[in-house]
Amino acid sequence: MKFDNPAGKNPIDRMKVVGKAYNRIDGPLKTTGQAPYAYERHDVAEGQLYGYILGSAIAKGRIKSMDLTDAQNAPGVKGVVSTLDHDPMKSNFNTASLFGGPQIQHYHQAIAMVMAETFEQARAAAALIRVDYAREDGRFDLEALAPSAPPADGKEVSYGDFDAAWASAPVKHEARYTTPAESHSMMEPHATIAAWKKTDDGRDHVTIWTSNQMIQWNKMALAGVLGIEQDQVRVDSPFLGGGFGSKLFLRADAVVAALGAKQVGQPVKVMLQRPLIFNNTTHRAATIQSISLGAEKDGKLTAIRHISTNGNLPGGDTEGSTAQTQFLYASPNRYTNLHLAEMDLPEANAMRAPGEAPGMMALEMAMDELAETLDMCPVKLRVINDTQVDPTKPSRPFSERHLVECLQQGAAKFGWPEGGKYPKPGGKRDGEWLTGIGMAAGFRDNLLMKSAARVRLKPGGRLVVETDMTDIGTGSYTILAQTAAEMMGLPLEAVEVTLGDSDFPASAGSGGQWGANNSTAGVYAACVKLREMAADKVGFNAADVDFDEGEIRSGGNAVALSDAAADGELVAEDGIEYGDIGERYKQSTFAGHFVEVAVNAYTGESRIKRMLAVCSAGRILNPKSARSQVIGAMTMGAGAALMEDMAVDTRFGFFVNHDLAGYEVPVHLDIPHQEVVFLDEVDEKSSPMKAKGVGELGLCGVGAAIANAIYNATGVRVRDYPITLDKHLEKLPAIA
């Protein structure tokens, strides 16, 4: 199905099943331990061996030699895979080589794997491998590599004449902001079981049962690194315990599991130890950002400049921290620059809301600082700089843009001060606590991607949905079932959804908050075809039928839906494809974030007291699961603002706090009650579902809202995240 014009009225608009707050249909499986996660797939292949990966002890250099003798002779060991026996393996989706060759690109690079009868035997034997390295000097300090002026080799985007507008601006704000490297820190580690077999035509075929967000991407990538055809690979991932972007791409666990299984002729299961998740897989890059805002005295922005530097391996990409700065506020003159500093740290890549998450942490703090300079309400400043068209291309309108409504409704619900201005910074106390409020706008683009599905109407009227879409804890099973139920006029319990298998039609996958809207649109397309088949089967005109309450109705006639499959199941497969509608209309999501914090006047400890997010993201397919996504994102924003920081050892090039004891993430006591409000809207230019993504919008801007609230509480502006007590303790207002 081609979608290239705004959706008109369609069956989803009935909203009998879609739009309702259903519990997740996979919930009982997870709460009773029956949901099969990758490492627990004990039944999928007999004779599974345990693999244990050895990571490099240096960050840059090469392996001179590797002695495997003691490991190979250790109890229970069935084989050892060595990087020296393979050529470097890297797909188009990876920056770092995943395995193979003597060259070391980063610390904890996978260099060997031991396979044994038990996990303990494999781990003990891995410690017996002796490696002789030739260490080389590396680049590990981002501060030392950051340019002092706009870099000539950066990715520049310029509109108007920033320099002239900046020079003439009557009100200016300019400052430098930093965000640290962050880890995804999902509960389920990267894990894979791999098994090989010979097919009937004598060809090798490998299946991996893994934890991965993007099934087709990884099928292509694994085939590529193994040097086989894609039809020789199957990827299966029905349940994930979180990913947040770290499981978008093929990683070392899948590659070495496949290599090991082929070498020993038995299935092999591998789970990355937590330190290897920090140093071997991907992370969010640290950034150094410089923002310049020029405005008229009434607050209208006339000049915006945003320069960001991040580190990555050679050939890696930049963290797109300026993405929102091009589109969020109206200004006739703007300049953005993304600069890559080549480093020898582990690969930096996508983490939940890549680009906008760290970019909004800086931009929305800068906007608050400009509001203070102007002596203006920070909500008002954002409202008067709203735009209904793409500021970089005024002929292109936003498909739907309700940022002003988010800010105004949020301010009213939160109880923003009358007159709009902040209370005096550092001027409000509650016992030993300094209290303050903060706000920020939220922005995240809406991405359109192809997505396909297959639907089966079984004899008896049960409906089965098949697609390789993944559920990373976001509720994909439920919203796909809701979509199919709505389209076919069935109750939710009459729909069965099967996900995560590369043998199923290729979906959009989970990531970038594109999953829900696109995957449900794919199911919609398949159901449109099934409706036509079913109507034709019972002799109705497909253009004039209604599917409701388990019946197919036309005029005054009605037959049971199950009658259409009386002679055998009906199978329909289709997908959603987009024309140029994403080019004709700028598609984005918006939010208003409001926070109250308390900072202990004696210790400098910060505590969040309340949080509110008002979101504009098209039709909300399931308010319950959508709310869960937003509060989870708000929690991640609290972690980014207050505690998360991957500390780099700039001498030896690794993340020191590479476990969940040293890398702090929020716990229950850190998070108060969170309130989420969704605007009642649809976006007909997004998809037939008229929905958008929301899972990353809840993160974009919330960190800055917390930072702004801390400043309001203390009167001390900290521009280097995370805002830990050591950064403002000595400057706090006098206690007496």
Q: What is the C-alpha to C-alpha distance for residues 525 and 99, in angstroms, rounded to an integer?
A: 40
The range of the structural domain enclosing residue 249 comes to 39-137+195-279
In a domain, 623, yes or no: yes
**What domain count does the chain have?**
3
Residues 487 and 563 occupy one common structural domain: yes
Q: Is there a contact between 506 and 466 (Cβ–Cβ < 8 Å)?
A: no
Residues 441 and 541 occupy one common structural domain: no
In a domain, 131, yes or no: yes
In a domain, 288, yes or no: no
Q: Is there a contact between 76 and 41 (Cβ–Cβ < 8 Å)?
A: no
Residues 621 and 631 occupy one common structural domain: yes
Amino acid at 73: N
Res 736: pLDDT: 65
In a domain, 464, yes or no: yes
The pLDDT tens digits for 161-201 are 999 999 999 999 999 999 999 999 999 999 999 999 998 88
In a domain, 173, yes or no: no
CA angle 694, 698, 699 (to 5 degrees): 125
Residues 423 and 526 occupy one common structural domain: no
Strands (E), 11-109: 49-55, 61-67, 77-82, 103-104
Residues 574 and 696 occupy one common structural domain: no
Which residue is listed with tokens 């300094």? 434
DSSP lists the bridge partners of residue 600 as: 433
Residues 627 and 725 occupy one common structural domain: yes
Compute CA 709 distance to the chain's CA centroid, rounded to the nearest angstrom.
26
Res 419: pLDDT: 80
**In the annotation, is 605 catalytic?**
no
Residues 600 and 726 occupy one common structural domain: yes
Res 420: pLDDT: 83
Strands (E), 147-300: 155-159, 171-179, 191-198, 204-210, 233-236, 268-271, 287-295
Q: What is the C-alpha to C-alpha distance for residues 318 and 405, in angstroms, rounded to an integer?
A: 33
10 Å CB burial of residue 64 (0-12, 13-18, 19+) is: exposed
CA dihedral 700, 510, 445, 355 (to 10 degrees): 50
Catalytic entry in 364, 486, 675, 696 = 696
In a domain, 298, yes or no: no
Tokens found for residue 137: 């000097």
Q: How far is CA 456 from CA 8, 75, 184, 495, in A?
A: 26, 50, 37, 10
Residues 560 and 655 occupy one common structural domain: no
In a domain, 340, yes or no: no
Question: Which stretches of the chain score pLDDT less than 70?
Answer: 736
- Candidates 36, 466, 44; CA nearest to 238 is 36
Contacts from 73-76 at CB under 8 Å and sequence distance 24+? 74/114, 74/116, 74/121, 74/124, 74/125, 74/128, 75/116, 75/121, 76/116, 76/117, 76/118, 76/121, 76/122, 76/125
Which of 279, 294, 321 is the endpoint of a domain? 279
Q: What is the CATH number of the domain that holds 52?
A: 3.90.1170.50
Residues 621 and 713 occupy one common structural domain: yes
Residues 225 and 114 occupy one common structural domain: yes
Q: What is the C-alpha to C-alpha distance for residues 493 and 514, in angstroms, rounded to an integer?
A: 26
Residues 126 and 243 occupy one common structural domain: yes
Residues in the chain: 736
Residues 70 and 206 occupy one common structural domain: yes
Q: What stretch of H or E contains 640? A: helix 623-642
